Structure 1
Amino acid sequence: MKIPEGVVLLDSLGDLKPNNTCPILVCGSHCGGNRELAQHVRNCNVKAVFLNNAGIGKNQAGIRGLLHYETEDILACAVDHNSAEIGIAQDTWESGTISHTNAQAKEAGIEIGDAVKDAVAKIINMGYPTPATRESKIHASNNNETNSKSLKQQTQTEINGVLITVTDSITFLNESNAGDVVVCGSHGGLSAGEYAQKHRLKAVFFNDAGIGKNSAGTKSLESLSDAGIIACTVSCMSAEIFNGQDVLNNGIVSVCNQLAKERNIKKNMTVKEALKHI
């Protein structure tokens, strides 16, 4: 099925730009987040978004964004993590099925179990959402920089003499993070792994996002090992996705790559225990 006009596919929300003009976003990222992230999506002219439920996980963090998108008047749906690979927008489009919806999605007639393609057809057929207007683009350009700064926060903490960078998303890193040991709230899928390689990290801890279809939530680990980066995921039930501090404080390792295993990091270790081996 051809991708309809007005629909954009992105593997990561980190790739969403303020000059986006497609009102419907089908994205491989998780459906977690906070108000600032929802505002950022709105300011990028998105009016409907489809995101992975990331295994739902601890405190239902994998679908927490639904209410924030609702507050920002964005139609939002979470896609079953066993129906589509997290971090892969094309698979979300081709194979995703809806697991959760917000109020705007329900009003559009989208139901649990709908295919993503069918859900998109429903909102297009009812004439919603409309393309971005010039005024909304101006609004986005005036507000997006502030929202991005508030989103892209990092903290540094020292554990056993090692400086650790903690952030809610791997996409919030920048060139100054080269060589860092990072604990983040992102999933461990391919798109997240690309950011870890881009910033040449020493080590990284992700959320496994329920592991999901084709083990997509941990799929980056092998390629990161090949790139010389120690990498692990923690169980989505042990720590909230999009919450780096919770991963650090409460995360329980679920999968390790070869380099992590060579450092004697093992499944069921806490993140803090694992950090002692780096």
Structure 2
Amino acid sequence: MDDGCNQVNPSAALIDLRPVTVLDSITELQTADRHKVAVTGSHGGLASGRHALAHGVAAVIFNDAGVGLNGAGTRSLADLDRWGVPAAVVSHLSARIGDGRDTMRSGVVSACNGTAQALGVRPGHSCLAAVAALRTSAAHAQETDTAGFASASGQVGPHHVVILDSASLIGPDAAGSVAVTGSHGGLPGRRAARALKHPARFAAFNDAGVGKDQAGIARLEVLDSQGVPAVTVRHDSAEIGDGSSTLRSGVVSYANSLAIRSGARAGASLIEVIRRLPE
């Protein structure tokens, strides 16, 4: 079966191939990653793409997170196209979300933007084949301060809520608060220490379509062992990468045992679950 390698620009041998960086989360990008092809376990939401853009990557591959409400899991593709940055997503059924190495090793492209298509990337190609094509990208680092992940806070009933587009934004001030995130419920790098950087009273994530090896809900069990009640909301009920959407329209899909004891149930509105949490 054609893996797409024969569609790489034939003049690629005359081009300095872009180096590749493999990341479990797009939030791990460093200054040294400018001009590189980034292969990441993060969802392909708008904020992820803006974060990649601000760090000047030459090209990027995300997880489609089950696509989800309003196509949020792949929304970065069109946005990056406008900046001339090639981008693709792999199917959440082919690679574990939050696992960059699995994305590289077993990811299968489910969608890509026009700039990536011009380099020969197509849906159905392996991630490895897509990377081979994207390494020929002539895109340059963008000098932009485009908005990426944001945070806010508010009150739901008697409870203080921190609203985070990315769980990476959580700080020590979240202790005693409810943390509502736009992040997937996967475990970055499959490492327990990265389930939540700072403990919260209750935490909510997007299930990202659950996906391969149920990776999209892997944080829940780990947070249970760490004493944090946690739930995921259905990927088709809230836009991934948008904490406000999680709070506004999220419907619980899975809950750990501590969250169940706190009253969370599959099918319940997240905002109602939070309102009814014990004081």
Which TM class, normalised by the smaller chain length?
0.7 to 0.9
Quote the residue 1:17 is aligned against: 30
Preserved contact between residue 38 and residue 72 of structure 1 (Cα < 8 Å): no
Quote the residue 1:277 is aligned against: 277
Q: Distance in 2 between matches of 1:231 and 1:26?
A: 28
Q: Distance in 2 between matches of 1:259 and 1:162?
A: 17
Q: 2:78 aligns with which of 67, 75, 81?
A: 67
Preserved contact between residue 18 and residue 36 of structure 2 (Cα < 8 Å): no
Quote the residue 1:154 is aligned against: 151
After superposition, the C-alpha distances for 1:38-59 in whole angstroms (9 at most, x for unaligned) are 3432332311101000000111
The structural deviation recorded for 1:155 is 1.8
Q: Distance in 2 between matches of 1:270 and 1:256?
A: 13
| 2:78 is equivalent to residue 81 of structure 1 | no
SS class of match (2:41)? strand
The structural deviation recorded for 1:194 is 4.8
Runs of 5+ unmatched residues, structure 2: 1-16
Preserved contact between residue 171 and residue 197 of structure 2 (Cα < 8 Å): no
Quote the residue 2:132 is aligned against: 121
SS class of match (2:65)? coil
SS class of match (2:196)? helix
Runs of 5+ unmatched residues, structure 1: none
Write the letter of the residue equivalent to 1:51.
Answer: F
Quote the residue 2:232 is aligned against: 233
After superposition, the C-alpha distances for 1:91-129 in whole angstroms (9 at most, x for unaligned) are 1000000000101111011111000001111233xx324
The structural deviation recorded for 1:175 is 3.3
When structure 1 is superposed on structure 2, of 95-104 and 259-268 the one drifting more is: 259-268
Q: Distance in 1 between matches of 2:87 and 2:111?
A: 9
After superposition, the C-alpha distances for 1:62-104 in whole angstroms (9 at most, x for unaligned) are 1011011112221100110000000000110000000001011
Structure-2 change in CA distance of 1:89 and 1:269 (3 Å): same
Identity of matched residues, %: 33
The structural deviation recorded for 1:179 is 3.3
Write the letter of the residue equivalent to 1:58.
Answer: L
Q: Distance in 2 between matches of 1:198 and 1:40?
A: 20
Quote the residue 2:67 is aligned against: 56
Q: Distance in 2 between matches of 1:166 and 1:155?
A: 5
Write the letter of the residue equivalent to 2:164.
Answer: T
The structural deviation recorded for 1:14 is 1.2
Structure-2 change in CA distance of 1:272 and 1:76 (3 Å): same
Task: Kindly tell me the number of residue pairs found equivalent between the two proteins.
Answer: 259
Quote the residue 2:162 is aligned against: 165
Q: 1:6 aligns with which of 13, 19, 24?
A: 19
Preserved contact between residue 30 and residue 53 of structure 1 (Cα < 8 Å): yes
Write the letter of the residue equivalent to 1:44.
Answer: H
The structural deviation recorded for 1:265 is 1.2
Q: Distance in 2 between matches of 1:196 and 1:181?
A: 15
Structure-2 change in CA distance of 1:13 and 1:119 (3 Å): same
Preserved contact between residue 18 and residue 137 of structure 2 (Cα < 8 Å): no
Write the letter of the residue equivalent to 2:25.
Answer: S
Structure-2 change in CA distance of 1:179 and 1:197 (3 Å): farther
Q: Distance in 2 between matches of 1:101 and 1:43?
A: 20
The structural deviation recorded for 1:22 is 5.5
What TM-score do you get using the length of structure 1 for normalisation?
Answer: 0.86
What TM-score do you get using the length of structure 2 for normalisation?
Answer: 0.86
Q: How does 1:134-153 map to 2 (within 5 A)?
A: 136=141, 147=146, 150-153=147-150
The structural deviation recorded for 1:268 is 0.6
SS class of match (1:242)? coil
Quote the residue 2:173 is aligned against: 176
Q: Distance in 1 between matches of 2:268 and 2:201?
A: 19
Write the letter of the residue equivalent to 2:154.
Answer: T
Structure-2 change in CA distance of 1:23 and 1:109 (3 Å): same
Preserved contact between residue 196 and residue 204 of structure 1 (Cα < 8 Å): no
Write the letter of the residue equivalent to 2:137.
Answer: Y
Structure-2 change in CA distance of 1:156 and 1:123 (3 Å): closer
The structural deviation recorded for 1:223 is 0.4
After superposition, the C-alpha distances for 1:143-188 in whole angstroms (9 at most, x for unaligned) are 5xx55xx534322221121111112111222333333211111100
